[in-house]
């Protein structure tokens, strides 16, 4: 692992603990990792993600080991060490090495130096009593599932039989899936190129290739040349769903709005599979730059606007759209495998506020759609409140909208459930929700 080459373990543990403390103060892991020097960043990210996936267990163990809650920097270092030491099936370092290096990290840090004996005592006790401590904490759902209690409760409500599988999937790293730019190369040809380079990839969907071993993108043959992009298979369904429906209508060139487009993956995919004109919106200027960068790399063109999708009077040219893709802001509860900090950053009250925002965006964009046009509403959430409940609320108050056959909630590795909006899982992908709406004439 890079951490062994770039810095001693005690320093990696210290950086990871500091990153964990920042996440617990409300910063995203992405923001936190950007502040870490490039040589140390890969190693710290690996350790941090491992810790975040076991943080509930580490926190519960710490309550058994310490009579009083330690100060936040001490707690972060202890949780880091405990999370790395408690999973015997996925040990990154020998437990005694972790303990000694964590204590060294405390001794070498002014803020933690006086707490080094306490840290040593807690961790040494864990090593002595590990089996009994781990058995004791398994009565805690926080320790067992490593998600906040409200999150577990919500999944139990939405998925009475499937919730354990969702939580288990969330605690495992996601596969690295690429989308082939079929305007430039066929899926089979790129797969063969990779095979010749010693890479193994499995076909998924129409244009997806799942790498057996994740790689930095600059090391993937064809990436820098615009032959492929990183995109989960679940996210690739957006362009496919619109293409399947739009191609049933006799229009030469589709006019499509991607209403929340950054970083541009779905915009690019639309342009790769259809003859269309795309207007890509995002409220953030900097994220619009990312859209343009991705389009340039792929050799594609779209009109990119920095604008608030809901304030249509500020950017809309009064020409109706044949299709609108609304990938609405959400809790991101479906991509926890890729971003394990999300579960610890979200609050229960966020869900209702986000669902209301999603409904308002639907209502704002609907008038921009031509008669017979399509609006694909999607979120990367597994919570029903941010998927089927929003759609049902919209349909209840809009007699011009009809729902077409739609995937509904996509759940990783779980068979579909029956319902008006079907749940359907086919492969190993992120959690998503899709509802395809049509404006009646």
pLDDT in tens, 210-267: 999 999 999 999 999 999 999 999 999 999 999 999 887 777 789 999 999 999 999 9
Residues 24, 351: Cα–Cα separation, whole Å: 19
Of the candidates 132, 136, 23, the one whose C-alpha atom is nearest the C-alpha of residue 76 is 23
Residues 156, 407: Cα–Cα separation, whole Å: 21
Element (H, E) at 32: helix 29-34
Residue 265 CB-half CA count within 13 A: 19
Residue with tokens 């949780």: 79
pLDDT at 279: 98
Provide Rg for the chain, Cα atoms.
24
Residues paired with residue 408 on neighbouring β-strands, in sequence order: 434
Mean pLDDT by 10 residues, the chain (441 residues): 63 97 96 92 95 97 93 97 86 89 95 95 96 94 97 98 93 94 97 96 93 94 97 95 86 91 97 96 96 98 97 96 97 96 98 98 97 96 98 95 94 46 55 96 72
Residues 90, 48: Cα–Cα separation, whole Å: 14
Residues paired with residue 321 on neighbouring β-strands, in sequence order: 369
Whole-structure pTM value: 0.92
- 218, two tokens: 């600059």
pLDDT at 425: 37
- CATH superfamily name and code, 2-146: NusB-like (1.10.940.10)
Compute how many other C-beta atoms are within 10 angstroms of the C-beta atom of residue 17: 28
For the chain, give the number of residues: 441
Compute how many other C-beta atoms are within 10 angstroms of the C-beta atom of residue 113: 10
- 156, two tokens: 């139990």
Residues 285, 76: Cα–Cα separation, whole Å: 35
Whether the Cβ atoms of residue 329 and residue 308 lie closer than 8 Å to each other: no
119-167 pLDDT, tens digit per residue, is 999 999 999 999 999 999 999 999 999 999 999 999 999 999 999 999 9
Architecture of domain 177-230: 2-Layer Sandwich (3.30)
pLDDT at 419: 32
β pairing state of 176-180 and 228-230? antiparallel
* Alpha-carbon dihedral angle through residues 68, 74, 80, 83, given to the nearest 10 degrees: -10
- Options 79, 228, 276, 380, the catalytic residue: 380
β pairing state of 432-439 and 401-403? antiparallel
Residue 434 CB-half CA count within 13 A: 26
Element (H, E) at 436: strand 432-439
β pairing state of 303-306 and 176-180? unpaired
User: Cα 195 to chain center, whole Å?
Assistant: 28
380 class by beta-carbon count within 10 Å (0-12 exposed, 13-18 middle, 19+ buried)? buried
pLDDT at 415: 36
The 3-state DSSP class for residue 315 equals coil
- Name the residue ranges covered by the structural domains of the chain: 2-146, 177-230, 235-439
CATH number of 235-439: 3.40.50.150
Residues 103, 162: Cα–Cα separation, whole Å: 41
Of the candidates 303, 237, 231, the one whose C-alpha atom is nearest the C-alpha of residue 273 is 237
User: Cα 431 to chain center, whole Å?
Assistant: 8
β pairing state of 201-204 and 408-410? unpaired
- Residue 205: which residues within 8 A CB-CB, separation 6 or more? 233, 236, 237, 240, 427
Whether the Cβ atoms of residue 298 and residue 272 lie closer than 8 Å to each other: yes
Residues 126, 92: Cα–Cα separation, whole Å: 17
Whether the Cβ atoms of residue 111 and residue 17 lie closer than 8 Å to each other: no
Whether the Cβ atoms of residue 78 and residue 123 lie closer than 8 Å to each other: yes
47-58 pLDDT, tens digit per residue, is 999 999 999 999
pLDDT at 253: 87
380 is catalytic: yes
- Residue 201: which residues within 8 A CB-CB, separation 6 or more? 178, 191, 194, 195, 209, 210, 211, 212
Residue 262 CB-half CA count within 13 A: 16
Residues 307, 287: Cα–Cα separation, whole Å: 11
Residues 229, 222: Cα–Cα separation, whole Å: 9
pLDDT at 418: 30
Q: Would the CATH topology of 2-146 be identical to that of 177-230? A: no
């Amino acid at each position: 692992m890079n951490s062994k080459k770039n810095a001693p373990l005690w320093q990696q543990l210290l950086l990871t603990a500091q990153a964990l403390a920042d996440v617990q103060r409300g910063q995203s892991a992405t923001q936190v990792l950007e502040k870490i020097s490039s040589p140390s960043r890969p190693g710290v990210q690996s350790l941090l993600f491992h810790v975040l996936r076991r943080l509930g267990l580490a926190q519960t163990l710490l309550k058994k080991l310490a009579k009083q809650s330690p100060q936040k920097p001490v707690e972060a270092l202890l949780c880091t060490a405990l999370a790395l030491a408690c999973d015997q099936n996925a040990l990154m370092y020998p437990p005694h090495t972790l303990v000694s290096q964590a204590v060294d990290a405390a001794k070498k840090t002014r803020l933690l130096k006086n707490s080094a004996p306490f840290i040593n005592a807690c961790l040494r006790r864990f090593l002595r009593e590990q089996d009994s401590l781990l058995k004791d904490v398994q009565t805690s759902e926080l320790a067992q599932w490593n998600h906040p209690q409200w999150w577990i409760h919500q999944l139990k409500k939405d998925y009475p039989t499937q919730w354990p599988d969702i939580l288990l999937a969330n605690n495992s790293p996601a596969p690295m899936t690429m989308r082939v730019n079929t305007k430039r190369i066929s899926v089979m040809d790129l797969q063969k190129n990779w095979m010749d380079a010693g890479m193994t990839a499995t076909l998924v969907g129409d244009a997806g290739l799942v790498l057996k071993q994740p790689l930095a993108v600059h090391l993937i043959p064809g990436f820098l040349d615009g032959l492929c992009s990183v995109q989960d298979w679940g996210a690739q369904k957006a362009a496919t769903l619109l293409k399947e429906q739009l191609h049933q209508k006799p229009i030469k060139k589709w006019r499509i709005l991607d209403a929340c487009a950054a970083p541009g993956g779905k915009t690019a995919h639309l342009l790769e599979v259809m003859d269309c004109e795309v207007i890509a919106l995002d409220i953030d200027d900097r994220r619009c730059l990312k859209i343009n960068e991705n389009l340039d790399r792929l050799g594609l063109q779209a009109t990119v606007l920095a604008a608030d999708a809901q304030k249509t009077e500020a950017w809309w040219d009064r020409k109706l759209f044949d299709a609108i893709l609304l990938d609405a802001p959400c809790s991101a509860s479906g991509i926890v495998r890729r971003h394990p900090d999300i579960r610890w950053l979200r609050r229960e009250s966020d869900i209702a506020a986000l669902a209301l925002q999603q409904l308002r965006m639907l209502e704002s964009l609907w008038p921009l759609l031509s008669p017979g046009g399509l609006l694909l509403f999607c979120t990367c959430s597994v919570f029903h409140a941010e998927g089927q409940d929003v759609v049902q609320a919209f349909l209840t108050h809009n007699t011009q909208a009809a729902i077409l056959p739609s995937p509904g909630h996509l759940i990783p590795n779980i068979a579909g459930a029956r319902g008006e909006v079907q749940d359907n899982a086919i492969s190993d992908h992120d959690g998503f929700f899709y509802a395809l709406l049509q404006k009646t004439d």
